[in-house]
Amino acid sequence: MTKFISINGHTIKSNSRHGTAQPPIRIARTRSDPNPIYASEVEISRSARLIYDPTKAMLRCGARLVLVCDDVKVIR
C-alpha cells in the first residue's frame, strides 16, 4: 500500500526555538488522510519516489515535496 511522507518544517523550527522534540515526519496513507502518523525516524522500502510540485500542494497538509513509497516502518 502506497504511503506519502512529508517533513513539517514548522515543527522543526518550533523544536529549535522551544527546545522540544516533536516528531516532524508525517506519514499519510492517502493524499487527504485525516489521521496521519508522525515520527522522528522511519525506515523506507527500496522502491520510493521523491516528488516536488512547486505549483500546487500535493497533500492536504500543504506539502509540495513528498516521498511516495510502498512500505514504511516507523522506528520511533
| Distance from C-alpha of 56 to C-alpha of 41, rounded to nearest angstrom | 27
State pTM to two decimals. Answer: 0.75
pLDDT band at 5 (very low <50, low <70, confident <90, very high): very high
Average pLDDT over residues 3-19: 90
Phi then psi for residue 55, to 5 deg, are: -90, -20
Q: Is-contact 34 48, C-beta < 8 A?
A: no
Q: How many domains does the chain have?
A: 1
Residue 53 to residues 5, 14, 59: CA-CA distances in angstroms? 14, 25, 11
Residue-wise pLDDT for 48-58, tens only, equals 887 878 788 88
For 4, half-sphere exposure in the C-beta direction (CA atoms, 13 angstrom radius) is 22
* Domain extent for 41: 3-74
